[in-house]
Amino acid sequence: MTTFALLSKFNTWANAQVFTTCAGLSDGDYHLDRKVFFGSIHNTLNHNLVVDRLWFSRAKGVEHGIKSLDQILHDDFDSLRLARIAEDQGIIDFVTSLDEDSLAQSVDFHTMAGDPGTMAMRDILISVFNHQTHHRGQVTAMLTQAGVKYPDLDIPVYLGAV
């Protein structure tokens, strides 16, 4: 398994762990503004989906329809969870289809501000998986604020090494 295939599968597993944990929250705790980048757990999880759709659309050369990084794609937990599951499977399918030549190819895109940009596919994937980890960390901090125990989301746990 390539490193990026591993990261795509780990990402799917980690997202599933977070959503399973969040399923036990009251709607009030889930939507409470906790004074982080995107406010609530819901908005932060929604933001991760927004960014994934943005980057993978750019990588595929298709229109993404994203208007802002805080755009709400799904208002409720259940629909966001289903969209996350579908997005994660799409990410696995896309990433596992890439070979070394594909990973080295440049992807041209426009930023949200309309400025042109270019990144190698491998750098886009690094950015996406790092971004997911960053915001999952914020979600786990918000879960701590809510008094909720969350699972260990480290790669060695995922791999069954510990």
What CATH fold (topology level) applies to the domain 3-151? Four Helix Bundle (Hemerythrin (Met), subunit A) (1.20.120)
pTM to 2 decimals? 0.95
Look at the block and give the residue holding tokens 């994203």: 66
CA distance 42 to 19: 10
CA distance 78 to 80: 5
pLDDT band at 162 (very low <50, low <70, confident <90, very high): confident
Q: What is the mean pLDDT of residues 7-15?
A: 98
Largest Cα–Cα distance of the chain, in whole Å? 47
pLDDT band at 133 (very low <50, low <70, confident <90, very high): very high
Q: Using one digit for the tens of pLDDT, what is the confidence trace for 42-95?
A: 999 999 999 999 999 999 999 999 999 999 999 999 999 999 999 999 999 999
Cα 18 to its chain centre, rounded Å, is 11
Domain-wise residue ranges, the chain: 3-151
Outline where the chain has alpha helix (H): 3-22, 27-31, 41-60, 77-96, 100-104, 121-145, 155-158
Tokens of 28: 């009030």
Q: Which residues of 83-99 are buried (b: 16+ CB within 10 A; e: fewer)?
A: bbeebbeebbebbeebe
CA distance 46 to 48: 5
Strands (E), the chain: 106-110, 116-120
Q: Is the pLDDT of residue 120 over 80?
A: yes
Alpha-carbon Rg for the chain, nearest whole angstrom, is 16
CA distance 38 to 68: 12
